[in-house]
Amino acid sequence: MSETPKQPERDVISREEDEAWFYSDIVKDHFFNPRNFLADESAYQDAAQGIVGSPACGDVMKVWIKVDPTTRRITEMKWKTFGCASALASTSILSVMVTENGGLTLDEANKITPRDIVERLGGLPTRKIHCSVLGDQALRAAIEAWNKKAL
């Protein structure tokens, strides 16, 4: 006789009793220990900036990137996010994704999708998927700003 797998305890209990939200350990780690968070914006005045917000959920993301002009690789990505745990974790993991292993090129970074972010986080509650889309959009806005500045 096989045992029924034990369900993880709910991280968030929604108002609808039939719905539970589960946050992966990766989401929790990036929420409680965010990577590349920008505390002092004055140090990044010359960096390309992207900002997006969602009136529907109240999340706002700012992203700053520094790019090596020769290789067009993102050497640094800093961010500030006003939002929920999913929004903060999404932006944090995105900053790791674009800078690890020497950094992605602008073209590679432009191809990152919300699905890539969610997969790297080990999933998000269905109602929180939109949070990963904001990071994707903020990064694209920063890339566009860098491209305009580089012309």
Residue 111 has what pLDDT? 96
- For residue 72, the SS3 value is coil
The residues assigned a catalytic role are 57, 131
pLDDT score at 14: 47
Q: How many residues does the chain have?
A: 151
Predicted pLDDT at 119: 94
The pLDDT value given to residue 11: 53
Q: What's the whole-model pTM score?
A: 0.82
Domains (range + CATH), the chain: 35-150 (3.90.1010.10)
**Whether 95 contacts 142, CB under 8 Å:** no
Q: Give the model's pLDDT for residue 4.
A: 46
Per-residue pLDDT of the chain (151 residues), as tens digits, is 555 444 445 454 444 555 556 788 999 999 999 999 998 888 898 999 999 986 666 778 999 999 999 999 999 999 998 888 889 999 999 999 999 999 999 999 999 999 999 999 999 888 888 877 788 899 999 999 999 987 7
User: In 10 A of CB 114, how many CB atoms?
Assistant: 19
